[in-house]
């Protein structure tokens, strides 16, 4: 088992996974109790039970996301990663909103395409996008691969860094597209993510670092049929997932 994101150690990934899974179980058990309270009209909190229920769902999603990323970063098998991905989607479905969930949707769609996940799971994501329409070029492009009739709109919710992906998508020359993808990975994606909560986390508290991954880069490489071997070793590129994904 080779670590895929070497900014953290195997020991820290292992400890973090154990801690996050324990916390996840705690909040899942809390959610069951909250559901009972909701069903019986019981208000045991300062805030309305429904509000506490929804915030608990968000907490569960956050822990499952960290488990998903750490599983990949540590070097676990892609079959194990796939199991955590399916759980991640299940956590995402009840609460996803375009106002806060852009990255989560990009991750979910991209990984789903790389794993060639079954239609039922992928369509749960499509239904979320239909319901809360974020009107985003990259999201539309990812969905269109599995739904050819899906309309692509020329708009980006986050032009920095994701707007650059349009250059990659619309470049018809494979060699040029690969160069653009390399530029995105080396100069655009991480540098353009300064406003997100996980940026530079490894410098602030490395034990909480679960990995930095531009899963959409992997999806673009696959969808455009680019030579993924040319991207081996480039930080943030999910090489193993592109190489082996459907076999997970």
Average pLDDT score, the chain: 96
Q: Is 4 domain-assigned?
A: no
- What's the pLDDT tens digit per position in 210-243? 999 999 999 999 999 999 999 999 999 999 999 9
Q: Is residue 3 part of a domain?
A: no
Record the pTM.
0.96
Distant-in-sequence, close-in-space partners of 111: CB < 8 Å, separation ≥ 6? 85, 117, 215, 219, 241
Indicate the number of domains in the chain.
1
Run means of pLDDT, 10 residues per run, the chain, 248 residues: 94 98 98 97 94 97 98 97 98 96 98 98 98 96 98 95 98 98 98 95 95 98 97 97 79
Query: Which CATH number covers residue 50?
Result: 1.10.3920.10
* 75-83 contacts, C-beta under 8 A, 24 or more apart: 75/1, 75/2, 75/3, 75/4, 75/10, 76/1, 77/248, 78/115, 78/240, 78/241, 78/244, 78/245, 78/247, 78/248, 79/248, 81/241, 81/248, 82/115, 82/117, 82/248
Q: Is residue 188 part of a domain?
A: yes
Peptide bond between residue 161 and the one before it cis (omega within 30 degrees of 0): yes
Contacts of 125 (CB under 8 A, 6+ apart): 89, 92, 105, 108, 109, 112, 143
Question: Over the stretch 164-201, which tens digit does the pLDDT of each residue have?
Answer: 999 999 999 999 999 999 999 999 999 999 999 999 99
Helix, strand or coil for residue 195? coil
- Say if 5 falls within a structural domain: no
Residue 228 belongs to a domain: yes
Q: Give the pair of three-digit tokens for residue 222.
A: 């696959």
With tokens 């490894």, the residue in question is 202
Residue 85 lies in a domain: yes
For residue 231, the enclosing domain spans 10-247
Angle at 166 between CA 100 and CA 88, to 5 degrees: 35
The confidence score (pLDDT) of residue 247 equals: 63
With contact defined as beta carbons under 8 Å apart, do 158 and 104 qualify?
A: no
Has residue 220 been placed in a domain? yes
Q: Could you tell me which residues come within 8 angstroms of residue 101 by beta carbon, excluding any fewer than 6 positions away?
A: 92
């Amino acid at each position: 088992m080779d670590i895929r994101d070497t900014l953290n150690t195997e020991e820290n990934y292992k400890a973090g996974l154990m801690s996050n899974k324990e916390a996840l179980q705690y909040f899942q058990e809390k959610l069951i109790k909250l559901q009972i309270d909701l069903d019986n009209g019981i208000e045991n909190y300062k805030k309305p039970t429904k509000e506490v229920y929804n915030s608990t769902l968000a907490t569960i999603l956050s822990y499952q996301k960290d488990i998903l990323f750490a599983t990949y970063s540590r070097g676990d098998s892609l079959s194990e990663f796939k199991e955590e991905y399916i759980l991640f989607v299940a956590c995402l479905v009840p609460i996803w909103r375009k106002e806060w969930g852009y990255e989560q949707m990009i991750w979910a769609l991209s990984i789903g395409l790389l794993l060639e996940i079954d239609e039922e799971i992928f369509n749960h994501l499509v239904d979320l996008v239909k319901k809360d329409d974020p009107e985003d070029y990259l999201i539309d492009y990812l969905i269109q691969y599995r739904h050819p009739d899906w309309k692509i709109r020329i708009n980006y919710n986050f032009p920095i860094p994701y707007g650059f992906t349009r250059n990659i998508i619309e470049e018809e020359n494979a060699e040029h597209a690969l160069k653009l993808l390399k530029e995105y990975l080396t100069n655009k994606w991480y540098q353009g993510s300064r406003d997100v909560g996980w940026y530079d986390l490894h410098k602030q508290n490395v034990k909480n670092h679960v990995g930095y991954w531009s899963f959409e880069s992997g999806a673009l490489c696959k969808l455009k049929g680019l030579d993924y071997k040319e991207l081996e070793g480039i930080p943030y590129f999910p090489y193993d997932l592109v190489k082996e994904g459907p076999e997970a």
